[in-house]
Copies of this chain bind each other. A is one copy, B any other.
Amino acid sequence: MTPPLPALLDQIHTEAQALYGKGRVADYIPALGEVPPRQFGMAVALVSGESHTVGDAQVPFSLQSITKLFTFVIALKLMGEGLWQRVGREPSGAAFNSIVQLETENGIPRNPFINAGALVITDILTSRYAHLDYALLGALRRLADEPNLHWNPRVAKSERDTAHRNMAMAYFMKSHGNFQNAPELVLDNYCRQCATEMNCQQLAQATLFLANGGRDLAMDGQPDELFLGADDTRRVNALLLTCGAYDAAGDFAYRIGLPVKTGVGGGIVAVVPGVGTVAVWSPELDAKGNSVLGAFALERLVALTGWGHTTL
């Protein structure tokens, strides 16, 4: 019989700490490189309303690529199936920042979670919203039921100053007619977006609609609202399972078997359809840019709870 969640989280916390030092904090964005490496937080939010945390689950961290999940959902709500004219939905088979695929496939990125695809999504939202803050922070505040969410201007600036490769991809897609706005403007928005900060508890909460058939769990006793249609929710989860962990998507699916989205800030959020969500954070990354302790913690949680077995 499975022990209760709090005991499981404690056990995983203890086991995970043995892995400190096995990865490296991302340093290609200077401001990110300053984060103390030996931190670990984890939060589980269940569709029942229950939630549990362990470790540094209240420490805000930089969401980075995890924001791509939310901007994608917003764009999907706006554009529906028309979105797939601008971006594909296949695993990339290449590094998250590869430009090769764009050349051989006419400037259409493979999926919305590699950098090029996320830039297209931000381009779409830039055309729609005068201030992307409204779209993204507004959605996150509502989903997390937390009015105090912000992006870190120092991280955003550090990211913008070193965004040459993303600029290259934006211009490349523009040369193929797959970019509407000035790359400079979209990159400003993109770097602010990536610099959004949340803690594990907030992130698990904000993602809960994906485990709940698209329904947002209202915290205050009011009835749930449908944030995303049930079919689209299933599709988003499918895309997270096949493309959510950069070019380690297959490895994550194999080890963890859940829809996930990872970020170079060290965060990972996972969806257990019908059950709940898990957010985990630890800054040290493996060679593919995914959190070492985070991936381990999810793998252990799946093994100990059998959650992977019920979904796959």
Residues of chain A touching chain B, judged by Cβ–Cβ distance below 8 Å, are: 88-94, 98-104, 110-111, 164-165, 167-172, 174-175, 183, 213, 230-231, 234-235, 237-239, 241-243, 247-251, 253-255, 257, 259, 273-274, 303, 308-312
B253 & A238 in contact (Cβ 8 Å cutoff):
yes
Kindly provide the distance from the CB of A247 to the nearest chain B CB, expressed in whole angstroms. 6
Q: Which residues of chain B have C-beta atoms less than 8 A from A303's C-beta?
A: 231
Interface of A is mostly: helix
A99 & B103 in contact (Cβ 8 Å cutoff):
yes
B90 & A309 in contact (Cβ 8 Å cutoff):
no
B274 & A257 in contact (Cβ 8 Å cutoff):
no
Q: Which B residue sits closest to A95, measured CB to CB?
A: B103
A249 & B253 in contact (Cβ 8 Å cutoff):
no
Q: Which B residue sits closest to A239, measured CB to CB?
A: B254
Contact for A312 among B101, B249, B251, B273, CB less than 8 A: B273
15 A-B residue pairs with CB within 8 Å = A90-B91, A99-B99, A99-B172, A164-B171, A167-B167, A168-B168, A230-B309, A234-B257, A234-B312, A235-B254, A237-B312, A239-B254, A273-B310, A274-B310, A311-B311
Most buried by B among A164, A174, A213: A164
